[in-house]
Amino acid sequence: MVTNDSTVGHGTPAAVENALGADNYLNHGRGLGSWFTTLDHKRIGVMYLVSILASFLLGGVFALLVRTELLTSQKTIMDADTYNQLFTLHGAVMIFLFIIPGIPAALGNFVLPLMLGAKDVAFPRLNLASYYFWIAGAVLALLSIVVGAVDTGWTFYTPYSTSANSSVTMITFAVFILGFSSIFTGLNFIVTIHKLRPAGMGWFRMPLFLWGLYGTAIIQVLATPVLGITLLLLIVERALGVGIFDPALGGDPVLYQHFFWFYSHPAVYIMILPAMGVISELVSTFSRKHIFGYRFIAYSSIAIAAISFLVWGHHMFTSGQSNLMSMIFSFLTFLVAIPSAIKVFNWIATMYKGAIVLATPMLYALSFLFLFGIGGLTGLFLGALAVDVHLHDTYFIVAHFHYVMFGGTVIAFLGGLHYWWPKMTGRMYSERWGRIAALLVFVGFNVTFFTQFVMGAQGMPRRYYNYLPQYQAYHQLSTLGSYLMAIGFVVIAVYLLQSLFRGAPAPANPWGSATMEWQTSSPPPAHNFDATPPAGDPYDLEPWRWDAEAGGYVRRAPAASA
């Protein structure tokens, strides 16, 4: 790891210190054993980060194979069963191993206690247990691939999943275990935010990232058990032949869809809420402005968390549920759009009259506004009942989903990763390559997925191995875009790894943010803070001024700046 280096520790105030050469959380305990038994939220965050990035790589390779197969309308490189397994695994790995834990468990774990000026989360052992549950679930999921990969789609719809001749039981059990990991993280965050806020930090003085994590945690704790129970029922049906979902045994397959989406729709907000929290931090910091409309943004996170429980039926407009139910779910779906719209407008208003810095994290924030804008607006098409009937289960859905989940969550994750990277590693990455890669990912993403909106509206169904020749041009363009995106990610991987060894030492506060994690050294000491910083307005950036000598932002006394 990064341990020995000449640092900036020459007489500058503690707040601008780079701690690479000194005692910090990375070198506080030595050897792998000290990592695997650590209770330090920062180390657990880093272990999560490494693990989920490995999952992201795996899921990404699956995606590239799927896109490559779709270059031609018939067989290109694999047979139909392999293709069906690959899109299933792409979905399952990306959703359950990468994107659900992505921001909360990796970035959230690292940042949350720091933002509170706390030493750790409320239950450090539970936090480590959460990580090991994740590992157990991941190992089991990978094992199921080796034993005989599932081909049910990541949604495991019955009765196909109860009749399919594949290791469905194992992978659903893996997801069951991953659910516990998610619940533990959520529980930990709720208690930490309630109990460990420092003196002077009321609810409305919390950084908005914490509001996002808090909303997420509520959903994790309340919705995940439903998925757990559903998957258990699925296992019971497969193993014991008890009729629950399979009509051949007297069950109801549509019941499964209700159960599944009762979790999985809120789960979409598990993925997007923390992403929105990240964007709030980025937009304010890099506009050098106080966030606009703090309370509206905070309340909208809670509104999203609450309404998200009541919209699951919009996945089922063509399932045969009654018209009345479809009407109610359509109505509630439109309501959940409003808090997201408020956030977007408030972020834009934050930039007004700012001093906007187009650093890499901000480029991701701007990408987010563009892509999540499209993702959100295309949601209007899908909420409108009559239009959804046509678009349901086509590539339009695939595109919409990726604009929200990739264009929203993954882009925000990348923004957050770059933003907190100096804090986590004590190193700066190459700003120039950072911007180039952000551009590559942005362009590649749009080429890949915008194309899919058009072919979906034209009627191309999803999860198709063969397709009619009329869609071939769209598919080829889409595949081309995915390769471009892949190049972008390779670039990111290279310069981030390079920065670990050669990156310039990072100051405590490279961006001039006012939240507490920037008021300790980079990387922080194992105990986070020598003394808890005073809790102020987390978006009052005014006192933080660039200090050329220190190479970072330092706080000036208000009298001095006046």
Partner 1 sequence: MSVIERVVGLTGRLLGTQSDGSFWMPVQASTGAPGVDRLFHFLFWLSLAFFALIVGLTVLFIVRYRRRAGRDEPEASPSHNTALELTWTIVPLLLVFVIFAWGFKVFLDLNTPPANSFEVLVTGQKWKWLFTYPNGHVDENLHVPIDRPIRLVMTSEDVIHSFFVPDFRIKRDVVPGRYAKAWFQATRTGEFQVYCAEYCGTSHSDMLAKVIVYEPGGFERWMAEAADFLTKLPPAEAGARLFTSRGCAQCHSMSGVGGIGPTLKGVFGHPVQLAAGANVVADEDYIRESILEPQAKVVAGFQPVMPTYKGRLKDAEITALIEYLKKSSE
Query: Contacts with partner 1 in 300-339 (CB under 8 A)?
Result: 317-320, 323, 326-327, 330-331, 334-335, 337-338
DSSP letters spanning 38-88: ---HHHHHHHHHHHHHHHHHHHHHHHHHHHHHTTSSS-SSS-HHHHHHHHH
User: Phi and psi at residue 217, in whole multiples of 5°?
Assistant: -60, -40
Query: Which residues, other chains included, contact 48 with Cβ-Cβ below 8 Å and sequence gap of 6+?
Result: 101, 105, 106, 109, 131, 134
Quickly tell me which residue has 């490494």 as its tokens: 50
Of 214, 467, 544, 553, the one binding partner 1 by CB under 8 A: 467
Binding residues for partner 1, how many (CB under 8 A)? 88
Each residue 335-364 as x (binds partner 1 by CB under 8 A) or -, in order, gives x-xx--xx-xxx-xx-xxxxxxxx------
Q: d(Cα 375, Cα 484) in Å, to the nearest integer?
A: 20
Q: Which is nearer to partner 1, 220 or 350 (CB)?
A: 350
Determine, following the binding rule CB under 8 A, whether residue 450 of this chain makes contact with partner 1.
no
- DSSP code, position 509: -
Q: How far is the CB of 448 from partner 1 (least distance, A)?
A: 18
Closest distance to partner 1 from the beta carbon of 432 (Å): 18
User: Does residue 560 interact with partner 1 by CB under 8 A?
Assistant: no
Nearer to partner 1, 465 or 529 (CB): 465
Q: Of 30-38, 136-144, 425-433, 462-470, which segment contacts partner 1 by CB under 8 A?
A: 462-470
Residue 232 contacts partner 1 per CB under 8 A: no
Three-class DSSP labels, 520-535: CCECCCCCCCCCCCCC
| Closer residue to partner 1 (CB): 6 or 561 | 561
- Local structure of residue 321 (DSSP, 8 states): -
The C-alpha angle 30, 33, 38, rounded to 5 degrees, equals 85
In the complex, minimum distance from the CB of residue 393 to partner 1, in angstroms, rounded to a whole number: 4
Instruction: Find all residues with CB under 8 Å of 401, minimum gap 6, and list them.
Output: none
CB of 268 to partner 1, least distance (A): 18
**CA atoms of 71 and 481, how far apart (whole Å):** 12
Q: Can you tell me the distance from the alpha carbon of 20 to that of 237, in angstroms, rounded to the nearest whole number?
A: 55
Q: Write out the binding residues for partner 1, residues 531-550 only, by CB under 8 A.
A: 539
Interface stretch with partner 1, choices 190-198, 212-220, 259-267, 281-289 (CB under 8 A): 281-289
Nearer of residues 376 and 422 to partner 1, judged by Cβ: 376
Report in angstroms how near the CB of residue 246 gets to partner 1 at its nearest: 9
Question: Is 170 or 351 the residue whose CB approaches partner 1 more closely?
Answer: 351
**What does the alpha-carbon distance between residue 138 and residue 141 come to, in Å, rounded to a whole number?**
5
Out of 13, 200, 241, 247, name the contact with partner 1 by CB under 8 A: 247
251: left (phi over 0), alpha (psi -120 to 50) or beta: beta
Q: Determine which residue in the list 1, 389, 439, 487 makes contact with partner 1, applying CB under 8 A.
A: 389
Judged by CB under 8 A, the stretch of 36-44, 186-194, 367-375, 476-484 that binds partner 1 is 367-375
- Within a 10 A sphere around the Cβ of 540, how many other Cβ atoms? 11
Nearer residue to partner 1 within complex by CB, 217 or 374: 374
d(CA 291, CA 300): 14
377 is an interface residue for partner 1 by CB under 8 A: yes
Using an 8 Å Cβ cutoff, are 93 and 59 in contact? yes
Of the listed pieces 61-69, 263-271, 365-373, 440-448, which binds partner 1 according to CB under 8 A? 365-373
Cα(120)–Cα(118) distance, integer angstroms? 6
CA distance 509 to 545: 10
Of the candidate residues 22, 78, 222, 457, the single one contacting partner 1 (CB under 8 A): 457
Q: Dump the DSSP string for 9-26.
A: -SS--GGG-B-SSS--TT
Complex with partner 1: residue 335 or 490, whichever CB lies closer: 335
Of 523 and 538, CB closest to partner 1: 538
Nearer to partner 1, 175 or 391 (CB): 391
Residues 40-79 that bind partner 1 (CB under 8 A): none
User: Applying CB under 8 A, which of residues 29, 225, 373, 551 lies at the interface with partner 1?
Assistant: 373
Q: Which residue from 104, 113, 277, 383 is in contact with partner 1, where contact means CB under 8 A? A: 383
Choose the binding region for partner 1 from 3-11, 104-112, 392-400, 489-497 (rule: CB under 8 A).
Answer: 392-400
Alpha helices in 392-430 (DSSP H): 395-404, 411-425
Site for partner 1, residues 110 to 169, rule: CB under 8 A: 151-153, 157, 159-160, 163-165
The neighbour count for residue 108, using CB atoms within 10 Å, is 30
Candidates 290, 302, 436, 525: give the one binding partner 1 (CB under 8 A).
290
| Count of C-beta atoms within a 10 Å radius of residue 37 | 10
Instruction: Please spell the DSSP secondary structure of 420-456, one letter per residue.
Output: HHHHHHSB---HHHHHHHHHHHHHHHHHHHHHHHHHH
Q: Which residue has the tokens 């695939």?
A: 398
- How near is the Cβ of 286 to partner 1 at its closest, in Å? 9
